Amino acid sequence: MAFSTKSTGGPMADINITPLIDVMLVLLIIFMVTAPIPLLKIKIDLPQPNPNPPTNLNPPEPVNLSIDQSGALSWNNTPVDESGLKAQFAVIAQQPQDKQPEIQIKAADAVAYQYVATVLADAKQYNLVKIGFTDSSGQ
């Protein structure tokens, strides 16, 4: 195929790609003919704009909850124990959900997961949903 049978020359340097192009065009035509053409309309349920936009343009200041390596908690840089944390969660839970501040948890890199899981379980117990995590490296 790609080699010359002449005695004077070596192998041919160029490849005849015409048959490859023919096969490619035939396959393209086959795929175009057999591709399903969507004739049916697809009903899509798009979300509608809210006629009453939220009036809370100034969200409350977020609460910074830090957990150090030993599991000690601090609420806005004030040390607090677990019972004090639950009391703070209870105060936040009494507010309407749109007025509740976000709790930003900042856990140390080497803190045991148990301490973070306990804080999250306590927050879930009081039905708090605005919870976020911040970078513990201080950046």
Read off the pTM: 0.57
| Residues 45/49/53/59 CA torsion (nearest 10 deg) | 60
Q: Quick one: pLDDT band at residue 14, thresholds 50, 70, 90?
A: confident
- Residue-wise pLDDT for 31-71, tens only, equals 888 887 777 777 888 888 888 876 667 778 899 999 999 98
Task: Give percent helix, percent strand, percent coil of the chain, each to the nearest 5.
Answer: 30, 15, 55
Q: What is the pLDDT of residue 121?
A: 93
Angle at alpha carbon of residue 136, lines to 134 and 139, rounded to 5°: 80
56 and 99 Cβ atoms separated by less than 8 Å: yes
- Residue-wise pLDDT for 79-115, tens only, equals 999 999 999 999 999 988 888 899 999 999 889 999 9
Of 65, 61, 83, 62, the C-alpha closest to 73 is: 65
Round the average pLDDT of the chain to a whole number and report it. 84
71 and 59 Cβ atoms separated by less than 8 Å: no
Instruction: List domains and CATH numbers for the chain.
Output: 63-133 (3.30.420.270)
Q: How far apart are CA 34 and CA 36, in angstroms?
A: 6
Of 93, 92, 96, the C-alpha closest to 56 is: 96
More confident call, 115 vs 13: 115
Q: What is the pLDDT of residue 46?
A: 86
For residue 132, the one-letter residue type is: G
Of 105, 5, 104, 96, the C-alpha closest to 54 is: 96
